[in-house]
Amino acid sequence: MSPAHPDPSPSARPPDRPRPTHRVILDASGHAPLPLVAREAFLEALDQGWADPRRLHAEGRRARMLLDGAREALAAVVGVRTQDVDLAPSHVAALHGAVRQVARGRRRAGRDVVVGAVERAAVLHAADFVTADGGARQTIAVDGYGRVDVDSYMHALDAPGVALAALQHANGEVGTLQPLDTVHAAARRAGVPLLVDAGASVGHLDVGDAWDVLVADAGDWGGPAPLGLLVTRPGVRRSPDGPQDEDRWFPGGVSVPAALAAAVALQSAVQARAESDTRRRALVDRVRARVGAEVPDTEVVGDPVDRLPHVVTFSCLYVDGEALVGALDTLGFAVGSGSACTSSTLEPSHVLAAMGVLTHGNVRLALPRDVQEQDVEAFLDALPGVVRDVRAVLGVEDL
What is the CATH number for 326?
3.90.1150.10
Which of 98, 159, 168, 202 has its CA nearest to residue 351?
168
pLDDT for 346 equals: 55
Q: Enter the DSSP assignment of 142.
A: B
Q: What is the pLDDT of residues 88-121, one digit of tens each?
A: 999 999 999 999 999 999 999 999 999 999 999 9
Residues 172 and 291 in one domain: no
Q: Same domain, yes or no, for 156 and 303? A: no
Whether 389 is in a domain gets the answer yes
Indicate if 244 and 106 belong to the same structural domain. yes
Residues 214 and 320 in one domain: no
- 8 A C-beta contact, residue 251 and residue 284: no
pLDDT-derived band at 343 (thresholds 50, 70, 90) equals very low
Of 251, 285, 316, which residue is a domain's last? 251
| This prediction's pTM | 0.91
345-364 average pLDDT score: 87
Q: Which of 220, 251, 282 is the last residue of a domain?
A: 251
Answer yes or no: do 304 and 190 share one domain. no
More confident call, 125 vs 399: 125
- The reply to whether 180 falls in a domain is yes
User: What is the domain-level CATH number for residue 98?
Assistant: 3.40.640.10
- Residues 229, 327, single domain; the answer is no
- Domain shared by 282 and 326, yes or no: yes
In a domain, 150, yes or no: yes
Q: Is the pLDDT of residue 63 over 70?
A: yes
> What's the whole-number mean pLDDT along residues 342-354?
73
Whether the predicted pLDDT of 128 surpasses 60:
yes
Residue 318, domain member (yes or no): yes
**DSSP state, residue 131:** T
Q: What is the pLDDT of residue 241?
A: 87
Per-residue model confidence (pLDDT) at position 4? 45
Please check whether residue 267 lies inside any domain of the structure. Answer: no
pLDDT digits (tens, 9 = 90+) for 35-58: 999 999 999 999 999 999 999 999
User: Is 14 within the bounds of a domain?
Assistant: no
220 and 292 fall within a common domain? no
The predicted structure's pLDDT at residue 398: 58
Dist CA 41 CA 212 (whole Å)? 31
Q: Give yes or no for a contact between 288 and 383, defined as CB atoms under 8 angstroms apart.
A: no
pLDDT digit string, tens, across residues 229-275: 999 999 999 999 888 888 888 988 899 999 999 999 999 999 999 99
pLDDT digit string, tens, across residues 287-339: 999 999 999 999 999 999 999 999 999 999 999 888 999 999 999 999 998 75
Among 217, 251, 285, the domain-final residue is 251
Query: How many other CB atoms are found less than 10 A from the CB of residue 319?
Result: 26
CA angle 144, 145, 147 (to 5 degrees): 105
Specify whether 185 is located in the same domain as 318: no
Mean pLDDT of the chain: 92
Give the structural domain span for 350. Answer: 24-35+273-394
7 within a domain of the structure (yes/no): no
* 271 Cβ contact list (under 8 Å, min separation 6): none
One domain for residues 333 and 185: no
Any domain includes 76: no
- For the stretch 220-231, pLDDT in tens is 999 999 999 999
Same domain? For 164 and 294 the reply is no
Average pLDDT over residues 342-349: 60
pLDDT-derived band at 348 (thresholds 50, 70, 90) equals confident
Cα–Cα distance measured from residue 350 to residue 137, given in angstroms and rounded to the nearest whole number: 16
CA distances (Å), origin 188, targets 108, 183, 287: 18, 9, 39
Banded pLDDT at 15 (limits 50, 70, 90): low
Beta pairing partners, 307: 176
Helical (H) or strand (E) element with 70: helix 58-78
Q: How far is CA 161 from the centre of its chain?
A: 29
Domains in the chain, number: 2
Shared domain for 228 and 304, answered yes or no, is no
